[in-house]
Structure 1
Amino acid sequence: MEAWIFAILTVFFLIVTPAYWFVTHETTGTAALTLTFFLSLMIAGYLSLIARRIDARPEDKREGEIVEGAGEVGFFSPSSVWPLFCGLSLALVMVGLVIGWWLVIIAGALGVVALTGLIYQYYRGEFQH
């Protein structure tokens, strides 16, 4: 199903890109739409190749039962502040690119600390493995 969604998007961008060029004669937008076409084509191709190699999931089958999808879905963190700190340090890096390189260095150091905390959060504390 995912491959079909991106295939439809690919056809859409194939139609829209030349129409956009003929209406506006703008090179920047046409280049962006062309690159978007190739990106959606690449994703559709990748997803269709992967879909052929794996077995159909229960939600992809017409006669799929709910019980077929039972079992462990995956591991999800119960609570963590480290993704917030990783995002804030990345935002600070982007602001630092505008303000000055000194802020990028500070934000990069904070980002290393936040990323280390994110990676090693299950080695200590309440959710230790």
Structure 2
Amino acid sequence: MKAELWTIVSCAVFFALIAPIYWVLTSDPTGSVALVMTTLLCVLISFYLAVVARQIPPRPEDLPDAEILDGAGELGFFPASSWWPLWAALAFATVVLGVVFGWWLFIIGAGLGAIAVVGWVFEFYRGIHRH
């Protein structure tokens, strides 16, 4: 977690330095507030990463004397390719077009979207990718 922590802390410092410079050069309140909020978001994420880094055992990449074999083993579950995100996106596009052209198209898109989301959620409970 140390690498991630220092990356986000660097971003927080960068945005903290840029926000007043941007305000002085442009006098734009919207951009200045956005930069301040970005700084605060980076500080929040840094705090979270610092707390989590203290609660979990160090990972191999956090140890200076770690070997390559220390990181061996299962890294997680990575799903196979899926067609459901495509159908969900097409259904969402139909819903958006339904807002423009008529309620009937919106209802068709919402129905197709419900089917696509249910299929996407439950794709690992059926067929060849079942767990």
Shorter-chain TM-score range: 0.7 to 0.9
What is the count of residue pairs matched by the alignment?
Answer: 128
| 1:1-129 → structure 2 map (5 Å cutoff) | 1-93=3-95, 99=100, 102=103, 103-129=105-131
Q: Give distance in 1, aligned partners of 2:96 and 2:41.
A: 25
C-alpha spacing 1:122/1:43, structure 2 compared with 1 (3 Å): same
| TM-score of the aligned structures, taking structure 2 as reference length | 0.83
Give 1:19's aligned amino acid.
I
Shift of 1:60: 1.7
Q: Give distance in 1, aligned partners of 2:96 and 2:20.
A: 35
> Percent same amino acid at aligned positions?
43
Give 1:12's aligned amino acid.
F
| TM-score of the aligned structures, taking structure 1 as reference length | 0.84
Calculate the aligned-residue CA RMSD, in Å. Answer: 2.1
Shift of 1:52: 0.9
Q: Give distance in 2, aligned partners of 1:55 and 1:101.
A: 56
- Greater share of helix residues, 1 or 2? 2
3-state SS of 1:47 partner = helix
Q: Give distance in 2, aligned partners of 1:20 and 1:111.
A: 43
Unaligned 5+ segments in structure 1 are: none
Q: Give distance in 1, aligned partners of 2:110 and 2:17.
A: 43
